[in-house]
Amino acid sequence: MRKKLITEVSGVVAAPVDRVWRALLDDRPRYEMKTELGEHTVAYQGGWWYRGEWAVVADPEGTRVIHRVYDVAERLSWAVTLVNKFFHGFDEQTRRSFAEGLARIGERLGCAARLT
């Protein structure tokens, strides 16, 4: 599969990896997308170009949560860049959405959560 990184964001939740992992899975999208689960990784793929990958890893402050968005278009890959230019602020929108999800996880677990 061809993957081109579009944006990446990360944050830290002050809780153990296993608790954050379970909370992340509980907070996943409610719409239908292809889902791939790994050990502390999950990927959602939908539409003709979008793939979002999430990973949780140990961090000195608890758990680091990493979110990457990839262009996985097999055909018309040149159009992804063009289309995303029309969505001015895609990086910031992704960062804001990630921050909201991180805050929900922190609230659910009763601990601090912050962007890095």
Position 109 scores a pLDDT of: 98
**What is the tally of helices (H) and strands (E) in the chain?**
3, 6
Q: What are the beta bridge partners of residue 58?
A: 63
* CATH number of residue 83's parent domain: 3.30.530.20
CA-to-CA distance for 22 and 16, rounded, in angstroms?
10
Residue 34, helix vs strand vs coil:
strand
Residue 43: per-residue pLDDT:
92
**Structural domains in the chain (count):** 1
pLDDT at 96: 95
Contact 7, 69 (CB under 8 A): yes
- pLDDT number for residue 108: 96
Q: Which domain holds residue 99?
A: 4-115
Count how many residues are written for the chain: 116
In the chain, which stretches have pLDDT less than 70?
Answer: 29-32, 75-88
